Amino acid sequence: MKNISRRKFVKDSVKTVAVASIVTPLLSSEGYAWPVAFQFSQVTLPYPYAALEPHIDALTMEIHYTKHHAAYVKNVNEAIVTEKISYENEKEFFDHASKLSSKVKNNMGGAWNHNFFWQVMKPNGGGMPSGKIGEAISGSFGSFDKFKEEFTKAAMTRFGSGWAWLVKHEGKLKIGSTPNQDNPMMDHSELKGTPLLGLDVWEHAYYLKYQNKRNEYVANWWSLVNWEEAAKRLG
Ligand SMILES: [Fe+2]
């Protein structure tokens, strides 16, 4: 390469890297820039770690948020870069969940599901929902007690790790559960719909305080439900 053309090559390369670094600050594992279209994020916890005591203890909350949830977010974002995934929003990711690697699928579910979980709980929550959501629950399940019974059953019968959900699907409310970090918005999920409530029944959500007694954790969780958030999602 002649001197002039070498100089031009170097100059153009610098220009390309400079433009790429404006598009994205992230580098793939190979060390070159990839135009990342979307990254998952972790919501700020809406309350202190101890705020859900005595039903969920502060240490469980801290580990759950700073270790488990943070790891899902970090892992999915790394995988988006290394696997060069160009979906632009959560919906595109969930619509194509069955085509994604286990690493992306599991970690994007973990990222989204926990963001949702923190928001549908609050200190001094629970009680009977009123207004439109209260009516929708009574209309769909017969009564609030029947709804609680059915949701509790979904949470208790989910074998291993997973989530129990209240969803709205085609104008109706439904209860069900998903395994691992799947959720009802993923294309391969048997339970489909827009989540209104979600309950994490992984052991990491309750084991420190409740050990094997998932039933007590689920029973106490009703005192934390943020019905205002569920109502917002009902539309
Ligand atoms: Fe969890």
Question: Going residue by residue through the chain (235 aa), what tens digit of pLDDT does each one get?
Answer: 444 444 443 344 333 333 333 334 555 555 545 678 899 999 999 999 999 999 999 999 999 999 999 999 999 999 999 999 999 999 999 999 999 999 999 999 999 999 999 999 999 999 999 999 999 999 999 999 999 999 999 999 999 999 999 999 999 999 999 999 999 999 999 999 999 999 999 999 999 999 999 999 999 999 999 999 999 999 8
Residue 14, in any domain of the structure:
no
First to last CA, the chain: 65
Range of the domain at 113: 58-119
Distance between CA atoms of residues 187 and 215, nearest Å: 30
Q: In a 3-state reduction of DSSP, which class is residue 60?
A: helix
Residue 135, in any domain of the structure:
yes
User: Ligand 1 mean position to 231 CA, how many Å?
Assistant: 23
Residue 13, in any domain of the structure:
no
Q: What is the CATH number of the domain that holds 78?
A: 1.10.287.990
User: Ligand 1 mean position to 203 CA, how many Å?
Assistant: 8
Whether residues 147 and 218 share a domain: the answer is: yes
What is this structure's pTM? 0.86
Q: Enter the tokens of residue 3.
A: 């001197």
Residue 101, in any domain of the structure:
yes
User: Ligand 1 mean position to 8 CA, how many Å?
Assistant: 53
Whether residues 222 and 164 share a domain: the answer is: yes
Pair 98, 186: CB distance under 8 Å:
yes
Whether residues 210 and 147 share a domain: the answer is: yes
User: Ligand 1 mean position to 199 CA, how many Å?
Assistant: 9
Residue 1, in any domain of the structure:
no
User: Ligand 1 mean position to 61 CA, how many Å?
Assistant: 10
User: Ligand 1 mean position to 68 CA, how many Å?
Assistant: 7
Whether residues 85 and 144 share a domain: the answer is: no
Residue 38, in any domain of the structure:
no
